[in-house]
């Protein structure tokens, strides 16, 4: 799943509940479970499944509704051919990103992978942090969409392993009272296969 989609997934529940109410969200949640036998959080992580369930509810208007939901969470502005700026407007999603950058160990990992992509074992070795907790934190960052898989490399034992880099190149946090918003630069190649990005471009 695309990193940007993972980031946005955290805000879908909030927006759906705000727009259509908790009872509607619960009905969608039940339908997801009845059809796929998975929780809605898992379905949100794979938008194609949530998309099919939403289509059952809202028919041809689903694309429009998804676009509205995603636009409430973020906006994307194309800067150059290589890079775009995304603005995360949803406070819950922004808080999740803010907390990740505020965690000292996660910050070390994010700094390490900012300019150079690395495999997980390489990142653990270079971070000089405790192995087990660093591994868990890297997994969390991947799950939250803040690290993106960019390719493969060979490990010391010859195995082919994934290489990761930070999803955002430059991140600016704006805090006003209790509201947090984020402006972040992201490489256009990370947006290519994003369901969210294609939805809000419609």
Measured from the CB atom, is 37 or 104 closer to other proteins? 37
CB of 34 to other proteins, least distance (A): 11
Percent helix, percent strand, percent coil in the chain, to nearest 5: 60, 25, 20
**Which positions from 109 to 128 touch other proteins by CB under 8 A, shown as an x/- string?**
--------------------
Rule CB under 8 A: is residue 151 a binding residue for other proteins? no
Question: Hey, which residues between 7 and 36 contact other proteins (CB under 8 A)?
Answer: 17-24, 27, 35
Measured from the CB atom, is 18 or 116 closer to other proteins? 18
Measured from the CB atom, is 65 or 110 closer to other proteins? 65
**Integer-rounded Cα radius of gyration of the chain:** 18
Contact in structure between 93 and 73 (CB atoms under 8 Å): yes
Contact in structure between 97 and 146 (CB atoms under 8 Å): yes
Question: Hey, which residues between 33 and 92 contact other proteins (CB under 8 A)?
Answer: 35, 52, 55-61, 64-65, 68
CB of 20 to other proteins, least distance (A): 6
Tell me which residue of 15, 164, 195, 4 sits closest to 84, measured CA to CA: 4
d(CA 43, CA 151): 25
Token pair, residue 122, equals 């390489």
Binding site for other proteins (CB under 8 A): 17-24, 27, 35, 52, 55-61, 64-65, 68
């Amino acid at each position: 799943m695309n990193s940007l989609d993972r980031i946005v997934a955290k805000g879908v529940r909030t927006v759906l509940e705000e727009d259509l109410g908790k009872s509607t969200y619960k009905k969608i949640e039940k339908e997801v479970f009845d059809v796929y036998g998975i929780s809605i959080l898992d379905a949100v992580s794979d938008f194609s499944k949530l998309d099919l369930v939403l289509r059952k509810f809202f028919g041809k208007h689903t694309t429009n509704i998804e676009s509205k939901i995603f636009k409430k969470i973020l906006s994307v502005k194309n800067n150059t051919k290589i890079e775009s700026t995304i603005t995360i407007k949803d406070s819950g999603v922004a808080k999740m990103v803010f907390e990740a950058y505020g965690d000292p160990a996660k910050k070390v990992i994010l700094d390490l992978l900012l300019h150079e992509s690395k495999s997980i074992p390489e990142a653990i070795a270079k971070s000089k942090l405790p192995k087990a907790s660093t591994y868990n934190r890297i997994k969390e960052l991947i799950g939250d969409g803040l690290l993106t898989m960019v390719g493969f490399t060979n490990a010391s034992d010859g195995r082919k392993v994934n290489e990761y880099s930070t999803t955002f190149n430059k991140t600016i946090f704006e805090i006003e009272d209790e509201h947090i918003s984020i402006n972040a630069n992201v490489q256009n190649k990370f947006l290519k296969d994003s369901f969210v990005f294609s939805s809000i471009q419609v």
